[in-house]
Amino acid sequence: MPPVVEVLSDKKALVQRALELVVAQIHEAIADHDYCTLALSGGSTPKPLYEALAQASLPQEKLHLFWGDERYVPWEHSDSNYRMVQEAWLNPVPFPAGNVHGVPVDAAEPAQAAEQYEQQVRSFFAQMEAEGAETGVPCFDIVLLGMGDDGHTASLFPKTEALDVSDRLITVGNKDGQPRITFTVPLINQARQVFFLVAGENKRPALAQVFAQTADASQYPSRLIQPQGKLTWLLDAAAGES
């Protein structure tokens, strides 16, 4: 399925459009199987979207939040993606504790955190009797992603081992020696719907490589995201005007 690319006038319009599409996809998932699994992106771009989702009257008891990637720091750390989502969405909205599936960054090692998170993801999908739970690759309803100006997404950074992990759901990413916990390419690509939210002129060069006919995907990892479901790129004009 070819990707859909929408260029919005500015970041505010991008967030508004993302809100419309994500809310619609949440309701579609709940109508189909009575719950929705949403993997959240870190970084700065999606925070206003999470703030807007907190204002949207959603059936949060049917909404399960996961993190597509996380820094290996405590949840209260200023770099934590969990903390960013907590400030934007979890503090204003009373989610049932069992619906918020943060990455277990208190594990002794990053690899243990990845293994534990993988087990949490598998256990969740197994209890929901969802496809791919036991041995296959679970199918998230929605995966939100950003893209760095180097073309990385989630914590799948250029020329790192994480890009080639195909037998796990969760692995350890590496940003300049700093460990990250990240969804793998196969897990992201199993999703029903992937949304990229990309804003800023600094993203243009990498976007050109990601959309080029040919380019080195190990150098521009966002090229690896080719989901079996729908792929939608939401860009602001600063990033998307060619």
Which residues here bind ligand 6PG, judged by CB under 6 A? 41-45, 69, 81, 146-148, 152-154
Least Å from the CB of residue 200 to ligand 6PG: 7
Amino acid at 25: Q
Amino acid at 32: D
Least Å from the CB of residue 168 to ligand 6PG: 18
Return the number of the residue (47 or 122) whose C-beta is nearest ligand 6PG: 47
* 86 Cβ contact list (under 8 Å, min separation 6): 75
SS (HEC) of 60-102: HHHEEEEECEEECCCCCCCCCHHHHHHHHHHCCCCCCHHHEEC
d(CA 228, CA 113): 27
Return the number of the residue (71 or 122) whose C-beta is nearest ligand 6PG: 71
* 103 Cβ contact list (under 8 Å, min separation 6): 67, 70, 82, 113, 117, 181
Return the number of the residue (69 or 115) whose C-beta is nearest ligand 6PG: 69
d(CA 156, CA 33): 30
Q: Which residue is nearest to ligand 6PG (CB)?
A: 146
Return the number of the residue (44 or 91) whose C-beta is nearest ligand 6PG: 44
**3-class state of residue 108 by DSSP:** coil
Least Å from the CB of residue 226 to ligand 6PG: 17
Return the number of the residue (147 or 162) whose C-beta is nearest ligand 6PG: 147
Least Å from the CB of residue 33 to ligand 6PG: 26
Least Å from the CB of residue 147 to ligand 6PG: 6
